[in-house]
Amino acid sequence: MKEKNKGSKIPGKVWLLISFLVAMVLWYLLSLNPRTARSFPNIIVTIQSMKTMIDRGVFWGDIQSSLISVSVGFVLGFVLSLPTAILMAWYRPVRNIIEPWIQFVRNIPPLAYVPLVVISAGVGRKPQIIVITIATFLIMTITIYQGVINIDETLIKAARVLGATDKDIFLQVIAPATLPFIMTAVRLGASVALTTLIAAESTGASAGLGMRIRSLNNSFESEPMLLYIIIIGIIGITVEKVIKILERKLTGWQEKREI
């Protein structure tokens, strides 16, 4: 018990700083070891490579391109998943026909079906968005669907005995009761959108973080490669933090539930 309480007086922000410093030291050590130095170039050199990429005129374009693909793909995935999930929850035939395929496709790495997408959709922005849309649609549909079918039935009963019509129940009970699951879906969807980026941009993209990592690989430039990887990570954690804040604002009424 005493062990566990060790350091409980140190505030969370300080822990974050300590964690950061530990990672930096580790990175530094890896950059000294000749066996790992090629994968983990020196910290300063890695950060300096940002200037190289800016000078080449690709840095901002890459970030912009990736953000566009990710956002458009994610938004489309969300817009499609919401009605699909609700239809699946409400109509048994819809569920029975669609659910097995969602589960089936969900377990296939997007990289595997990228060539097929390119064959039909060509190269450029379109296939990128399609790949991200598919991946985010699948995860968000499943998450929202689970939420809708797990709504506490006594809440619906309680509303009904207080005089609620089907419409009232949908708008005033099911919608708010599903909101936490929608927020979870949004968080998972955003994360999937980013992790699908590399696959999406292997469709012959002309810019993008994922595309650039692959092309830097051909010229063995590990400094900007690592930099780009870190940038994807930063984007991911920023998006997650923003969604979490939103989640706390919108669904703070929940009994604690973390996924």
254 lies in the binding site for another protein (CB under 8 A): yes
Q: Which two tokens stand for residue 44?
A: 């300063």
Q: Which two tokens stand for residue 213?
A: 């990592």
Please, are residues 118 and 203 in contact by the beta-carbon 8 Å criterion?
A: yes
179 lies in the binding site for another protein (CB under 8 A): yes
Task: Choose which of 86, 173, 198, 216 interacts with another protein (CB under 8 A).
Answer: 173
163 lies in the binding site for another protein (CB under 8 A): yes
x/- mask, another protein, residues 107-146, rule CB under 8 A, reads ----------------------------------------
17 lies in the binding site for another protein (CB under 8 A): no
* SS3 state at 40: coil
11 lies in the binding site for another protein (CB under 8 A): no
Cβ density class 94-113: b for 16+ within 10 Å, e for less: ebeebeeebeeeeeeebeeb
Question: How distant is the alpha carbon of residue 89 from its chain centre?
Answer: 24
Sorted by sequence, the CB contacts under 8 Å of residue 188 that are 6+ apart come out as 139, 140, 143, 259
Number of residues engaging another protein in binding (CB under 8 A): 22
10 lies in the binding site for another protein (CB under 8 A): no
152 lies in the binding site for another protein (CB under 8 A): yes
The footprint of another protein (CB under 8 A) covers 152, 154-155, 157-164, 168, 172-173, 176-177, 179, 251-255
